[in-house]
Amino acid sequence: MSVTQTMNSGVSFRSMAVKPPSHPTYDMKGVIKLALAEDAGDRGDVTCLATIPLDMEVEAHFLAKEDGIVAGISLAEMIFHEVDPSLKVEWSQKDGDHVQKGLQFGKVSGQAHNIVVAERVVLNFMQRMSGIATLTKTMADAAHPACILETRKTAPGLRLVDKVGGSNWWRAKS
């Protein structure tokens, strides 16, 4: 736990980073493994296996499909690493940044088969988290000066993912 305290005109502001409570859905490695197993099972991507040489190396790019707030970059890195630690992932944006439709904000390079296995799960999580972050930013702007702290509307098994997506709105650039 870390604590930061700032004094401003005699008013004390206190910020605490608190470890989340133990909960099965907070085991992100377990959630990632479950998502990968659900998507590709123990066979991998059968279409990819049938059409792409096993040793093919590629570079794939992340493009924003619409204007919004990007979220899920740390989770994406965890997923790519889980599938293949040798995949190289680079980002030009960070969680909470505003992106414009068509912006290339990241890339991954390495073995094509492993990128394909990971990318569907990565995109599913990032699209969900970015959608939540974008909508939360819109609602927070509309509610100003009130402050939205978090959402209680989470999907079963995705509580932490949904809450992290929604917490990125405050970092968004105008």
Query: Who contacts 20 (Cβ-Cβ below 8 Å, separation ≥6)?
Result: 26, 160
- Is 153 part of the annotated catalytic residue set? yes
Query: If you search the block for the tokens 């707030």, which residue do you land on?
Result: 69
19, 33, 137, 153: the active-site residue: 153
Per the structure block, which two tokens stand in for 140?
């927070």
Beta pairing class for 104-111 and 88-91: antiparallel
SS3 173: coil
Q: Give catalytic residues, as residue numbers.
A: 153
